[in-house]
Structure 1
Amino acid sequence: MKNTIKKLVMATVVAFVTFSFTDGEKKEIKIENSKVVWKGYKVTGSHEGTIAIKSGFLTFDNEALTGGEFVIDMTSINTTDMEGEYKGKLDGHLKSDDFFSVAKHPTSKLVFTKVIASGKNAYNVTGDLTIKGKTHPVTFTMSIYGNKATASIKVDRTKYGIEYKSASFFDSLKDKAIYDEFDLVSDLQF
């Protein structure tokens, strides 16, 4: 009888430990069918473009989102609302040390740290966003429909050492100021 109880307790402990460390189902992002659009704002207007996902996945447990991780290819920053010489200049400037220092930091990363269901297909997500080697938490809503996901993240660039033409750091910019926050809007397929 003692041996039976010991075996039952051991089986329960092994099952508990096994289930505690199960990561769920990892679904890789189909990067060729996914898109991330950035939009930056200044006093006199805005600019937008795309940036490529290098790799990424979402983790699910019984169809419920539980985690995720993305690596962004910062060398792929591309302006889509301009053409020609000015597009080339802006793309180059965004890749320079004034902004994302792409030569030193070719990738950025987002790692989900907390996911809470907020509706049938919606989740409130907290994650650690790393840009230029600096990591700060961000929060956003993600919607999942079948094998597609959408999310919009507002990022304060100054937290990552990107202070170029920020009115938070320079007083005399007037209409030359660039707002601190920019948007990342993602349409993902997995």
Structure 2
Amino acid sequence: MKSKLINSAVIMLVVLTTVAFTNSKKEVNTSESTIKWTGEKVTGSHEGTIQLESAYLLMEDDKVTGGEFVMDMSTITVTDLSGDSKEKLEGHLKSDDFFGTSDHPKAKLVITSAASKGNGKYGIVGDLTIKEQTHPLTFDLIMNGDTATTQVTIDRTKYDVRYGSGSFVDNLGDKTIYDNFDLDITLKF
């Protein structure tokens, strides 16, 4: 009986040690990673950046299983304009018309599942929270060495960002801003 108890304890220790070494948290180097956004309107588009505050991927046997990303929305910048036009648009994006960064300074993505599609490509399902509104989001993530990349399209109206949306305001004409905006994300580890 004593030997069965010792054997069971040894087996349990080996299993726990194996699990501890195969599961890991891969921290993202936020200062070397980039989030570029593009928003379009009837008469053109604008683009800029948002900084990551913190981010990590959960890994099991070198495969993505989860993760969490926090974006500092107060860092939203416009890169296709300069001077007063740049400052005016950045202020408007930070206002309650758009992201309301004084009340909602962070946006967060939590990966709820990841499925390998082969060759470093993963189908990702997650929950994205912007302005305290959370909705599911799906996208592909490509892992390549110490870099991960993705392109994500987000419907801003789901997150109570409805300014200039033709889906909610009539007769906007050429002042209509399209509901979707795109993020081009490069993560460095």
**TM-score using structure 2 length:** 0.91
2:107 corresponds to: 108
Q: Is 1:95–2:94 an aligned residue pair?
A: yes
Matched to 2:33, the amino acid is S
Distance 1:50 1:132, change over 3 A: same
2:166 corresponds to: 167
Contact kept in structure 1, 2:22 and 2:61, CA below 8 Å: no
Deviation at 1:27, TM superposition (A): 1.3
Deviation at 1:71, TM superposition (A): 0.5
Deviation at 1:3, TM superposition (A): 5.0
Matched to 1:174, the amino acid is G
| Whole-angstrom CA distance in 1 between matches of 2:14 and 2:97 | 53
Matched to 2:84, the amino acid is E
Contact kept in structure 2, 1:149 and 1:187, CA below 8 Å: yes
Percent identity over the alignment is 46
Mind listing any 5+ residue stretches in structure 1 that lack a counterpart?
A: none
Paired residues for 1:39-78 under 5 Å = 39-78=38-77
State the 4+ residue runs in structure 1 displaced beyond 4 angstroms: 2-23
Contact kept in structure 2, 1:40 and 1:182, CA below 8 Å: yes
Instruction: Pick which of 7-16 and 127-136 moved more.
Output: 7-16
RMSD after superposition: 2.0
Matched to 2:115, the amino acid is I
2:144 corresponds to: 145
Mind listing any 5+ residue stretches in structure 2 that lack a counterpart?
A: none
Contact kept in structure 2, 1:23 and 1:59, CA below 8 Å: no
Residues 57-77 of structure 1: CA distance to partner in whole angstroms, max 9, x if unpaired? 112122211111111011100
Residues 41-71 of structure 1: CA distance to partner in whole angstroms, max 9, x if unpaired? 1111110000000010112122211111111
1:131 corresponds to: 130
SS in 2 for 1:91: helix
Matched to 1:147, the amino acid is D
How many pairs align? 189
2:182 corresponds to: 183
